[in-house]
Amino acid sequence: MRITLTGSLGRIGKPLTKKLLNDGHIVTVISSTNERKEPINELGAIPAIGQLEDVPFLVSQFQDADAVYLMVPPANYFDHQLNLYEHFKEIGDAFYEALSQVEVSHIVNLSSIGAHLESGNGILEGTYYVEKVLNNLAGKASIVHIRPTEIYYNLFQYVYLIKNHGMMGSNLAEDNFNAWVSTEDIADAVVEELTYLSRRNTV
């Protein structure tokens, strides 16, 4: 299969790229920075450098793909001018506009736990919007939304408290429980969904 990935070589993107290449797929990796071009080449994938907000660029990278993996990249949460919902909306709209112009048979979108809720999911409300807009493509493509729980590396935020106060503190109620997930496991789930159609057609 020819598979195009957004998300560059991040914590999910890198193991995802390796797994797909090891399975013999032709993989294009979209990244916004030229510094990623050589590492992508070294893995054996095809680098595509551009911006996710650039619809013509996305069209050029999606148009020959059998399957596409989508993710909205993390924003700078320290930017006091950041409108996180608009960040999701801008990129979600670009994904939709580009995919509506091409013939991709399978779309896998990295979403989040709570993305089925229109409200009440805090800073993740943008994931609901992205799912909703991509679902408008259901008539022309198979669409799967991956909704992982909290990723384990978020535990690193507690390092300062542990080192300096000997504790892990959060604002969760005592009867709330967090479920943690590995990026490797997310990558495995994405691979399974991206390659589902090809596996089905060989049965």
- Can you give the three-state secondary structure of 121-150, one letter per residue? CHHHHHHHHHHHHHHHHCCCCEEEEECCCE
Convert the pLDDT of each residue in 14-60 to its tens digit. 999 999 999 999 999 999 999 999 999 999 999 999 999 999 999 99
Q: Which residues pair with 108 in a beta bridge?
A: 69, 144
Phi then psi dihedrals of residue 146, to 5 deg: -95, 125
CATH of the domain at 127: 3.40.50.720
Q: Which tokens hold the place of 165?
A: 């106060």
Q: Is residue 121, in this structure, part of any structural domain at all?
A: yes
Whole-angstrom Cα distance, residue 176 to residue 95?
Answer: 35
Q: Is residue 174, in this structure, part of any structural domain at all?
A: no
Match 């979600």 to its residue by tokens.
92
pTM of the model as a whole: 0.90
H or E stretch at 26: strand 26-31
- The pLDDT, as a whole number, for residue 179 is 84
Residue range of the domain that includes 25:
2-151+182-202
- The pLDDT, as a whole number, for residue 197 is 66
Q: What is the pLDDT along the chain (203 residues), one digit of tens a residue?
A: 999 999 999 999 999 999 999 999 999 999 999 999 999 999 999 999 999 999 999 999 999 999 999 999 988 777 888 898 999 999 999 999 999 999 999 999 999 988 998 888 887 899 999 999 999 999 899 999 999 988 888 888 889 889 999 988 877 777 877 788 999 999 999 999 999 866 555 44
Tally the domains of the chain. 1
Burial class (CB in 10 A: 0-12, 13-18, 19+), 37: middle
Q: Is residue 171, in this structure, part of any structural domain at all?
A: no
Q: Is residue 25, in this structure, part of any structural domain at all?
A: yes
Q: Is residue 170, in this structure, part of any structural domain at all?
A: no
**Cα 119 to chain centroid, rounded:** 21
Match 């969760």 to its residue by tokens.
172
Q: Is residue 139, in this structure, part of any structural domain at all?
A: yes
Q: Is residue 167, in this structure, part of any structural domain at all?
A: no
CA distances (Å), origin 121, targets 113, 125, 127, 163, 191: 9, 6, 9, 31, 27
Whole-angstrom Cα distance, residue 143 to residue 134?
Answer: 8
